[in-house]
Structures are given as structure tokens and as C-alpha cells.
Structure 1
Amino acid sequence: MSFNSLGLSQALLKAISKKGYTTPSPIQEKAIPPILEGKDVLASAQTGTGKTAGFTLPLLQLLSQGQTLRQRPVRALILTPTRELAAQVYANVKEYSEFVDLRSAVIFGGVNQNPQVTHLRQGVDVLVATPGRLLDLCNQKVLSLANIEILVLDEADRMLDMGFLRDIERIIKMVPAKRQNLMFSATFSHDIKKLAQGILRHPVMVEATPENSTVDAINQKIYRVAKGKKTGLAIKLISEGNWKQVLMFTRTKHGANKLCKNLISANVSAAAIHGNKSQGARTKALAGFKNGSVRVLVATDIAARGLDIPLLPHVINFEIPNISEDYVHRIGRTGRAGASGEAISLVSADETSYLRDIEKLLGFRIESDIIEGFEPDPNASTEPEKRQQRPSRNAPRRNSNPRNSSGNNPRRQHNKRRN
């Protein structure tokens, strides 16, 4: 199948061709036709499947076919959980709308709102936003959602994980009752289906996985190691393997900062990306990682969600996640678009139960090895230091981040949540 057979306009096909795409991905093939028909869609698709184009292309076509009002009120709203994902979705909207008469903008927290406000006042058809900044500007009467025709919730599962349920409910009350709704999520969990029931109307359900499954595309390996020797082992693997681009995961922001500092001390260029970093620092770190000036990007799960890093060869779980599904999200950063990838996990004794849960989810045992000089501690306890429980997703937002173990007080934690 080609893009020509999906019913897209010549203007959009021209933009697609300019990007070098010829064949739609499975999620694009399944989602674009029902969206063009004006139907609500509930789609399951992970990052790397082409899902952004799956809703952006038909959204742009529907808006371009409608009447363009002189004041250009916001007619399509795309909600994303993180600043980085918002910026990437906006970049896609800009690229695909090059040959249609539509204006777009992106708003998110962590940066001065004035340039965003100026952009909005010039008239915007498509708005990409994180919930916090969107509500802030609506409350300031800078922005109205009264003309929304299409509402998109991108990575809805992560928005629930990050405690945005109440914000989503507030936003829903601000948009017209008559609208088209599109919801994209990595999974069709119970919570996602419950959220969908309150937003979508008789949705078409579509599901697609990457062309290569996690097992087929990614070489997974575990190194059993003493907790205090993890940094040394990571440096050895990166240096001896001459790895040029490595995404490393920690469970906490403090752990990311500490690891980054230790890597730099060992002459391995590194940068950390997490919620406590300013937007400028996060953008600079990601840009350095992409252009090769930063060899290792150390990230927490939430900060890494939605990062678009094509053909990433190596992922290292410096600390494996205590939530099994996050392991799949992490290693899914590599092995994309038919390329091979390597995912290595450094597992200490206290992470034994986390590993057992991950292997249960995968349905197989991951190959394990020990490197001389970095052996595991035979006397270490296999009990987790502190097993973090996922709170109720209906709990107040300031207590809703299951991965924030930085010890911040509730008020500061709530403020940082305003993306």
C-alpha cells in the first residue's frame, strides 16, 4: 500500500514525499482512513511506529477542507505528556503542513510564556500543548478552546502515569461537546479504556506494533554486578566497545546526576535529562546527544518518554525499572526501523525481584553473564532497598509521580508537574 491510496490530498502527499516516505506504517495504514471519515479512534501504538503522522496527516486534511476563520481560533488540540514530545509533534505538524494554509504552535512549561502568547495571538489552527501550560494560559484568558473540532490525546497512558487525569478532565470541560476525538496509547489498559469511555464516542479501535518485535530487533543481555561496581562496568563497556551513542537509564533524578558526573570524570562525555532540568538544559543535552558531542545521555523514565532518537544503537539500564512495562519502553528506544540494537541491563542483587517481574512480562529469561573484576556481591541482600508502589491514578497530582524519589516536598513536586 502507498500513501496515495489512503485518500490524502496532493498537498500532504507532496510533504510526505519531501520527507522521503513512500509506504505507510501499519498504524498509519489502519488509523488514517477512519480519522478521515470523521470517526473517533482509540489506537495502541508505541513510539517508533509512525503514530504521530498517523493522526497528524488526517487532522491536517480535515482542517484544510473546513472553513478557515479570519481570526484563526484553535481548531485542533494535541495534548502530550512531556515538553520534548510536544516539541517533536509540533515539528511534525510544521513539516506536514508546509503546503497547506494552516498555522500551528506549541506551548509547554519551563520556558517564558510571552513568546508563546505572542504566537497564539497571531492566530493558530493547530495547537500542541502539555496540560499544565495549556490550563495556565486558559485561566489567564489568553487562550480559548471553544472552537476545537479535533482533540488528540497522545501517549495517554503516560499522561495518566504522570497524574494528568484531573487536568484532562478540566480540559474536556472547556472544549465543545461536538468534536472528533483521537486517543493514542502504548497499551489498552483498564485505565485507558475507562478514560476512553468518558471521552470517545463509538471509537474505531486500531492496534499496531513495530515491524520488528522487541525480541527480534534487540539483542538483550544482563550483566550481574555488585551495586558499587556498576559505574566502572558501564565505563568499561562504553570505552572498550567504542560506543558513540548510548542512552542510559536510572530510576531517580539524583541517580542520573551522580552517574553523569562520574562518567564525565572518566572522560566520557555525558549529559543528564530529567524533570529538575530546565527546558534549555534538556534541549541542549538532547541536541548534543544527536550531533555526537555528547556520547552518553542519562535519563529517567518520564524525561525519556517521547524522545525521538533515530537508529539508537545502545541502551543501558544502569538501574532496571521497578515497573516491568517501563523496561519495554526503555529498550524500545533501540532496534527501530529495521536496524539492530543492543539493550544491556546492569543488575545488582537488590534488583532480583524487579528482574523476575520483567522476565515474567517478556515470557522468557534474558541471557545473563558476569565480567571478571565486576562480579556480583555474594553477601548482598536480594531484597529491594525500597520498593516503590504505583499510587492511585485518581490521587491528587502532587502525589502522583510513582518514579519521583528525589525527596522533594509536595509543593515543589506539584510545581514541577506543571509542564
Structure 2
Amino acid sequence: MDSDSPSFAVLGVRAPLVRALERTGITAPFPIQSDTLPDSLAGRDLLGRGRTGSGKTLAFSIPMIDRLADAGRAAPNRPIGLVLAPTRELAVQIATALEPLAEEFGMTVATIFGGVPQSRQVRALRRGVDIVVACPGRLEDLIGQRLVSLDDVAITVIDEADHMADLGFLPAVTRILTATPAGGQRLLFSATLDKSVNRLVTRFLPNAVRHSAGEADVPVATMTHHVLETADATSKKVLVQRLASGSGRRILFTRTKHQARKLAKQLTAAGIPAVDLHGNLAQNARDRNLAMFSAGTARVLVATDVAARGVHVENVELVVHVDPPAEHKAYLHRSGRTARAGGTGDVVTLMLPAERGDVTALLRKAGIDAAPQRVPVDSPVVTRLVGEVAPLVAAAPVAAEPAAPGRSRQNGSGGGAGSRSNGARRRPETDGPTGRRRTEGNGAGQRRIEDGGGSGTRRHTEGSNGRRRTEGTGVTSRRHTEGNGSTGRPRTEGGTSAGRPRTEGGNSTGRRSARGHGVVPAGSTGGRAGFSRTGNKARSR
């Protein structure tokens, strides 16, 4: 924040909003807020340019609440304010910034995005929502179902319009803007103004007042850039783990979703709590992982480029490009997760010798002057980037995955349902008069389960190389060994195997069956997914 800038009150923000801002720790405006508020509060269309972390969210949130406060409450399914955002994460964060301001005037805010059932969003709209923060895809769906009307929208905001263009959302944005009243106020914020964004501005904001707070394609002065070269992939893996070991928040960017998921698991197994963020995660998993990162439960976020524009978490001290991005704009957007709002931060790009030419060209286009260094993991440069090393944390136990529906194998029955079930309820951690002891490990660890109670016990050890399990149910028992790769197992499973003969005992009877199966996940209870029955030839009673 600029101490020389005028106060919010001087800029024309009404007193209740000033008090609400002060309660959240915001006492003075950022430059883009100082520049834009006089025009936006006056109801003018506005085009704002500024890099990420420059304060754009409040630059449109404050005038939206201020101008809608006296407009009366929204009718059911007819919001009076609309914010369009490119990602679910950004939509949630915008709503979080709007809500304390809206509460000052009894206004309501709701988010609309895909990846979750629409029923809750529809119920909120029916109750009447003043401001909707939406992703274009789901909003268009609801408009098509006539579950929401934009006829009463007085103020429309398009945030991160350039990212909308990158994701291919501008046709949907165009249709949505067409559905809003032509006389309404429109505010568009974008880090860059590409041709497609300019066409949107020309059509819908032809007379917009333009403001810019720093060029988005110019690196932030308070951000320090480093390029570290490793000899091979093994050395790179060691360096990544070292850079992730600090006590402060850090974001590691990978090129693919699979790499993000894999790296987060590897770090967690090594004692460094990490969560992943990418497009394949369900919404509840994305929310949970972001909450863990924001709260500090996980110090490391491993992400694909989806997070470069959709995640705004303060006090990220280090950004690591584990895989260098393909273009310089992506580099700047990724790097913009640190050194936000006038803060400082470090950015590290890791590269292999074969990537030197590509990385050099990337940094030149981004305007970054950083010479590659080949340094050992214990060098002073790496030690400074890591900072205070956090204590290692034991990996949390892996919860058993629920069985797939429609398949159960009753203990002691021998009936051909297939997955074990202990009645209609899930067994608690301690069950029965003799109790149960259970130890689980993550990744390459082990899991030992001992069930005591009645006439049977079970001992079960799992590891990365194999699994041994002994089960007893009444008068009969079963023992089988499973392995990965070259380890042998009496029970044969695999996509190329014809099946597996298996004898199961229950009371005095058993059955013999053959199945073809892929990989048995740790903790699985033998659900139907992935199995194919070879017929009745191997089955006898």
C-alpha cells in the first residue's frame, strides 16, 4: 500500500465500507484502487490493467458494493451485480473479498461454477442473491435452463479477461454480456490486452476510462529470480525436495497433472506436507487442499498452471518452476504468486542441461536477467532459498477406500459377492471385546492390521514390493501373497493373465473362482471395478 495515496474516505468510499475494510486490516488503498475508484464510484465504464497481486479485486469490489447498496435487494433468480471469473478458485476468493463488505448493507453473495451439483446454487438464486460471482460455463447452463436472469444486472465485472481468452471463454463471456442491460456499468480488469480482449472492449466498453498500475509483462522489482541447473533427473529430484523443506509457504509448478499429484505424494511421504492442485481434482478436494495450504497444514502446494491465475494466497515466499513453462507470460503469472502486494519473494527455475536454450529464451522474453548456476544442494544459494528448515512430519495414515457399490463378500459366508463386508456398518478403529490394532503407512510404507474378536484374526502387511495377508473366519482361513513386478504370488492377477484360481473358505464350504484384474489399491476392499469374471469354469461349490 502507498502511504502517500489518499484514504478511502477521501476517494469517496462511504463510511460503513471504510470501517469494514479496516476490520480486515486494509487501511489505505493500493495504486490501482486510488486510480480507479473515483471513476468506478461515479458509475463510469472502466478498463483496468495491472499485474496479479496489485489489488484489482478490491478495485472492483468496493465500487460494486458502494453503488448497489441503495439499489434494493435482488428478486429471486435476478441478481443485480455480476462478476465473471475464469476459475473456480478465483471465483471463491472474489466472493470471500466481497462478503464482509456486502454484510455491512445486508447484501448477499453467491458463487456459481461447475464441478459441483447445481442444486445448491439454484436454491441460493431462488432465495434471491444480490451479487453472483460466476464462471462462464455454469452460468450459461443456468441461463439456458431459465434458472437465472441477468435482466436486472446493474454492474458487471470481467476479471482476468486475458485468462478468459487463454481458456477459450470469451465467446461465452460475449453471450453473457449481451444478456445484461446495455445501460449497465461494466468494469473489465486484465493483466494484458491481447487482440481478443481488445475486441471485447471495443464492443462492450467503447467509452471506458483506462487505468494501468504497472505493466503485467514487466517483472516485479521485489522479486528475485534464480536459475539452477542440475546434472540429471535424480539430482533435480533431490534439489526439489530440498527447496520444498523450508518452513514458509511455497508453490511448486509442474507441467502435468500427473506430475503434480506424484510430487505431492512423494514430498508428503518424505515428511514434507504437500497438497496438489490441478484440473482433475473434484471441487471438494480442491477446496480442501487450498484450505490446508492457506492454513499452513500443508506448507507446499504442487500445482499446474491452473493455480498460476486462480490462487491468491498471501505470504508465499518461494515459487519453484520444477518444469519451466512453455511461454514467458506463464512464467510471469506463475511467479506472481510471490512478492504480492508490495511484498518480497524468490522465484527459482530448475532446468536440465538440455533445457538451457529454451530457458534462456524464455527468460529473455520475460525480461528476466538471471544466469544459470549449477550448485550442490547444500550450497549457500540453496540454503538461503530454503530458509528455516521445518521439522519433518510423519505421513498421515491412508484411509481405506470404500468398496464399490453392488459387491460384497461376507466374512465366513463363502457367498460369491466378492468384497468383504462386516455387516451393514463400517468397522471402527477399535471394535469388539479384544479390539483392533492398525498401523498404516503412506507411499512405500507398510500397513499392519490385527483384528481380534470372536473366532478369527487377520494380519495384514502391505509394502511397495508386496503384501502378505492372513485372514481367519471361523473354521477356515485364507492366506495370500501379492507382489509388484517380479515378486511371486499364489494368487494371480493381471490384465494379461487368464485369471486366478482361488479357494475361499467360509464355515465348512468354499468356492473356487477365476478373475482377471488390474492393480489392487492399498486399502481396497475388493470392489467390482476392474474385475472381469472368466465364466463358471473355475467355479465350484
Deviation, 1:216, is 2.4
Query: Does the alignment pair 1:301 with 2:305?
Result: yes
Q: Who is 1:256 aligned against? A: 260
| Cα distance in 2 between the residues matched to 1:20 and 1:261 | 36
Q: Aligned letter for 1:283?
A: D
> Comparing both structures, which one devotes a greater share of its residues to helix?
1
Which of 272, 275, 291 is equivalent to 1:271? 275
Which of 279, 291, 298 is equivalent to 2:295? 291
Contact in 2 for aligned 1:273/1:299 (Cα 8 Å): yes
- Structure 1 residues not aligned, in runs of 5+: 375-419
Q: In the TM superposition, what whole-angstrom CA distance separates every residue of 1:229-257 from its partner, at most 9, and x where no partner exists?
A: 32221112333xx3442100012112212
SS of corresponding position for 1:74: coil
Count of residue pairs brought into register by the alignment: 371
Q: In the TM superposition, what whole-angstrom CA distance separates every residue of 1:134-178 from its partner, at most 9, and x where no partner exists?
A: 111111111111111111100000011011022112212322222
Query: Does the alignment pair 1:282 with 2:281?
Result: no
Q: Who is 1:386 aligned against? A: none
| Cα distance in 2 between the residues matched to 1:197 and 1:302 | 28
Query: Does the alignment pair 1:245 with 2:257?
Result: no
Which of 227, 231, 241 is equivalent to 2:237? 231
| Cα distance in 2 between the residues matched to 1:364 and 1:163 | 28
Q: In the TM superposition, what whole-angstrom CA distance separates every residue of 1:370-417 from its partner, at most 9, and x where no partner exists?
A: 12389xxxxxxxxxxxxxxxxxxxxxxxxxxxxxxxxxxxxxxxxxxx
Q: 1:253 to 1:13 in 2, by over 3 A?
A: same
Contact in 2 for aligned 1:49/1:210 (Cα 8 Å): no
Q: Who is 1:391 aligned against? A: none
Q: Aligned letter for 1:73?
A: R
Q: Aligned letter for 1:39?
A: R
Which of 189, 211, 223 is equivalent to 1:184? 189
Instruction: Give identity over the alignment, percent.
Output: 38
Q: Who is 1:310 aligned against? A: 314
Deviation, 1:305, is 1.5
Q: Who is 1:50 aligned against? A: 55
| Cα distance in 2 between the residues matched to 1:366 and 1:182 | 37
Q: Aligned letter for 1:216?
A: A
Deviation, 1:227, is 4.8
| Cα distance in 1 between the residues matched to 2:243 and 2:24 | 36
Q: Who is 2:340 aligned against? A: 336
Deviation, 1:303, is 3.2
Query: Does the alignment pair 1:107 with 2:112?
Result: yes
Q: Aligned letter for 2:240?
A: A
Higher relative contact order (CA 8 A, sep 6+): 1
Q: How does 1:366-405 map to 2 (within 5 A)?
A: 366-372=370-376
Query: Does the alignment pair 1:351 with 2:355?
Result: yes
Contact in 2 for aligned 1:15/1:97 (Cα 8 Å): no
Q: 1:97 to 1:342 in 2, by over 3 A?
A: same
| Cα distance in 2 between the residues matched to 1:148 and 1:215 | 36
Q: TM-score normalized by structure 1? A: 0.84
Deviation, 1:71, is 4.9
Deviation, 1:363, is 3.1
Which of 94, 102, 112 is equivalent to 1:97? 102
SS of corresponding position for 2:82: strand
- Bigger Rg, structure 1 or 2: 2
Compute the RMSD of aligned alpha carbons.
2.1
Q: TM-score normalized by structure 2? A: 0.65
Deviation, 1:294, is 1.1
Q: 1:33 to 1:189 in 2, by over 3 A?
A: same
| Cα distance in 1 between the residues matched to 2:268 and 2:76 | 51
| Cα distance in 2 between the residues matched to 1:21 and 1:308 | 16
